[in-house]
Amino acid sequence: MSPKAVIFKKLSRDKSVGVYMAKRDFVDHCDSVDPIDGVVLLDPVQVKGKKVYITLSCSFRYGRDDSDVLGMAFRRDIFVSTRQVFPALQDRDKATHTKIQKNMLRKLGDNAYPFFFEFPDNLPCSVALHPGVSDVGKQCAVEFEVKAFCTEGPDDKIIKRSSARLAIRKIQYAPVDSKVIPTAETTFEFLMSDKPLHLQATLTKEVYYHGEPISVSVNIVNSTNRTLKAITVAVEQITNVVLYSNDKYVKSVAAEETTDTIPPGTTLKKEYSLTPTLQTVSKGRRGLALDGKLKHQDTNLASSSIVKEEVLREVQGMLVSYRVVIRGIASGMIGSSEVNLEVPFKLMHPKPAPDTESEAEDMVFEEFKRVCLKGLTGEEEEDDEDKAGDA
């Protein structure tokens, strides 16, 4: 039996327009980005001679919609592109770019019209910060959305019940292995001690996949007259909010508190294994960067940000990075001192096998719902907005 292609659909409340797409994730390959293609289905009776448009937008949200400081709303459209799909401005065959579009047009009939967008190469990837328990409203996030609507003109006020919004993601997969072995070392000197403390940490590779154990080799040479204890090995996620502010969130996503003690004049060579996942963060999730997936059961930690050198950091909204941190307390006769060492690495998704289902003739239509983590934007919240906008 031939495979069936899953088609995601989202209809407006008044059923005047609907958006149909074969995928919601679009990959940034660093040198190029997957284009967006789909179909808009319209009801000619509901449209009533109006025009139908499709919009691709990328927005950065920093807190709730009604939050503002000195009159400045904490929301910014990073990119917006609007195109007219009805009445069609070009021949339907010329506006069709992919085989899956042809299949959808044949399945949906004469009232279906294709659309096609290409991402600019300077846009960020999807990412969202986990809200706190007491946070209300939409979270801090970089979001992408495809929206179909019908109005008299592209600049007219959009009636929400006559628009269909479908959230999508822009993601990155792990680059080709660079063969770089991350390592770091440092030396600490203390008062009343003639010799130093030498600390070294090495990882097995630069890029790890989500859910993959991270092996950390630690080598400590304690030539001092102090005892090193309370050694902790942790993986930390660092998120820099660079668009509106210089907020910085540092969250521990995996940690091991050891009982290892290194007396004066001794050494320690040991390997530790840590697996950072969303599930390992049992508390203090507020400010944790997630990868922006649309269904809560699929949500995981955000991937490391890979930004081209020529792209402005401020346009990226949020930048995510990871590091392994080794910490310890060197205690002696005249007090204690904290020692630490950091080793950066990348946490990403592996590149999947090529998708062949998009070429399938048979299609299954799935109603699209924006279901996210508790406290994040959900379908019910959208419906409430629609009712408020229609009032």
Domain enclosing residue 62, as ranges:
5-172+352-367
Same domain, 216 and 273: yes
pLDDT digits (tens, 9 = 90+) for 62-71: 755 444 444 4
Q: How many C-beta atoms surround the C-beta of residue 202 within 10 A?
A: 17
pTM assigned to the model: 0.78
Task: Give the C-alpha separation, 388 to 391, whole Å.
Answer: 5
For residue 140, the model assigns a pLDDT of 79
Residues 264 and 118 placed together within one structural domain of the fold: no
Q: 71 and 135 share a domain?
A: yes
Q: Clarify whether residues 253 and 326 are in a common domain.
A: yes
Give the whole-angstrom CA distance, residue 215 versus residue 270.
10
User: What confidence score (pLDDT) does residue 331 get?
Assistant: 86
Question: Containing H/E element for 104?
Answer: helix 99-108
Within this chain, do residues 216 and 160 fall inside the same structural domain, yes or no?
no
* pLDDT of the residue at 65: 47
At 311 the pLDDT is 59
Name every residue whose Cβ is closer than 8 Å to that of residue 176 and which is 6 or more positions away in sequence. none
And the tokens for 99? 């085989």
- Report yes or no on 264 lying in a domain: yes
Nearest to 40 by CA among 118, 146, 116, 113: 113
- CATH of residue 73's domain is 2.60.40.840
344 and 219 part of one domain: yes
CA 375 to chain centre: 17
pLDDT given for residue 187 in this prediction: 92
Q: Which CA distances in Å does 282 have to 143, 251, 253, 255, 371?
A: 26, 12, 9, 12, 21
Length of the chain: 391
**CATH number of residue 199's parent domain:** 2.60.40.640
* Total domain count, the chain: 2
Predicted confidence at residue 355, as pLDDT, reads: 57
Domain match, 201 and 332 both: yes
Residue 237 pLDDT: 92
Same domain, residue pair 360 and 256: no
Q: What is the pLDDT of residue 56?
A: 93
Mean pLDDT by 10 residues, the chain (391 residues): 73 89 83 86 84 90 53 71 85 74 87 88 83 61 89 82 88 78 91 87 92 93 90 92 75 90 92 88 74 61 80 70 93 84 91 58 60 38 41 36
Nearest alpha carbon to residue 242 among 341, 127, 121? 127
Hey, what are 36's tokens? Answer: 């967006």
Task: Decide if 254 is inside a domain.
Answer: yes
Domain assignment present for 237? yes
| Residues 102/107/109/112 CA torsion (nearest 10 deg) | -60
Residues 74 and 203 both lie in one domain: no
Q: Which structure tokens are listed for 101?
A: 């579009």
Is residue 134 a part of any domain in this protein?
yes
Whether 34 and 133 share a structural domain: yes
- One-letter-per-residue 3-state SS of 349-367: ECCCCCCCHHHCCCEEEEE
Query: How far, in Å, CA of 285 to CA of 287, rounded?
Result: 6
Owner of token pair 């000619």: 44
Judge if 317 and 357 occupy the same domain.
Answer: no
Mark whether 214 and 140 lie in a shared domain: no
